[in-house]
Amino acid sequence: MQDFQTTIAKRISVSGAGVHSGAPVTLSFLPAAVNTGIVFNVIDSAGVRHPIKALVSEVGATDLSTKLANAEGITISTIEHVMAAIAGSGIDNMVLEIDGPEVPIFDGSSAAFLEAFDEAGLSQQSAKRRYIRILKPSRVESGASWAEFIPYEGTRYEVEIDFETPVIGRQKFAGDMDDAVFRKEISRARTFGFMRDVERLWAAGLALGSSLDNSLVIGDDNTVINPGGLRYPDEFVRHKTLDAIGDLSLAGAPFIGCFRSYRGGHRLNASAVRALLADPSAFEIIEMQHSGPVGASKAVSAASTV
């Protein structure tokens, strides 16, 4: 686990299109000072920047993606893949300037964002990194779906999905998470959907930019119709894990504990974070302090909260 906060070493920009709007957008990543956190600056047509903090308190709609909104009513949608890349890279402080209302989808995974961060490089900062350490179980339920945080020495995800369609079925990802695991096992897993839903989504003004280039599509014959097929045998649950990593990063700090979910999604992920933060007895804020042999760290309490 990181002892110190991290930002990117230089500004870098990427351009693409939103999966729901289909509109072109440019997204720039900028270094930020310690304790800034992750902040979106949405640039309007007049060039005015509207800041939105990447925190669960700013989460609005969670249908098909995670959307943030500020007090002005300015929104930024489909943030989960870039937030997963930020969390998976161990970046604590960064400003994201964007000239549209939706983060570009690229190939439907976090891979393009990791490539941008690799090109920019990372810079260690002087302030200690803060963690949310889970002290006792915190659980939310919605029908047959549930999500919970439980104590664990490390950061672990156990995400299970259950779809009636046989090409997906019941899949589970379970493993400890760090930057290497995220990069190898999670980052390339793509968003997915069903061909039967396309016309309904188009009529609702959604998925206008969706294609086989940025989504795994399940056809009417219950097979994946993308050329080349799956990147992982269980790519569907790995993408749900990617979404969870992005959504849970909106707690404002990485967590030490285990996150478990069954048939979860963006709404349930946000509910789980809210429930955790609403119960001060369920967690504590700590900093990692290096001590002893190289590579050894211990946790110390931090006075401030997330």
Which is nearest to 302 in space by CA: 37, 289, 91? 289
**85 near 117, Cβ under 8 Å?**
yes
Q: What is the pLDDT of residue 302?
A: 61
Q: What letter represents residue 20's amino acid? A: H
DSSP letter at 190 equals P
165 beta partners? none
Residues annotated within a binding site for Zn(2+): 81, 239, 243
Residue 85 token pair? 């890349």
Tokens 């693409």 identify what position?
A: 16
Instruction: Report the relative pairing of strands 130-134 and 255-262 from DSSP bridges.
Output: parallel
With both helix axes pointing from N to C terminus, report the angle between 235-248 and 266-277 in degrees, rounded to the nearest 10: 40
Q: What is the pLDDT of residue 293?
A: 42
Taking only the tens of pLDDT, the chain with its 306 residues reads 899 999 999 999 999 999 888 889 999 999 999 999 999 999 999 999 999 999 999 999 888 899 999 999 999 999 999 999 999 999 999 999 999 999 999 999 999 999 999 999 999 999 999 999 999 999 999 999 999 999 999 999 999 999 999 999 999 999 999 999 999 999 999 999 888 887 777 777 777 788 889 999 999 899 999 999 999 999 999 999 999 999 999 999 999 999 999 999 999 999 999 999 999 999 999 997 654 443 444 556 664 444
Domains (range + CATH), the chain: 4-127 (3.30.230.20), 131-182+228-301 (3.30.1700.10)
- How many CB atoms lie under 10 A from the CB of residue 69? 15
Q: Give first-to-last CA distance, the chain, whole Å.
A: 18
Q: What is the pLDDT of residue 304?
A: 42
What is d(CA 219, CA 198) in angstroms, rounded to the nearest whole number?
A: 11
Please identify every residue annotated as catalytic.
266
User: What kind and span of H or E run contains 146?
Assistant: strand 145-150
- Dihedral class, residue 305 (left if φ above 0, else alpha if ψ from -120 to 50, else beta): beta
Q: What is the pLDDT of residue 294?
A: 38
Instruction: Report the relative pairing of strands 138-142 and 24-31 from DSSP bridges.
Output: unpaired
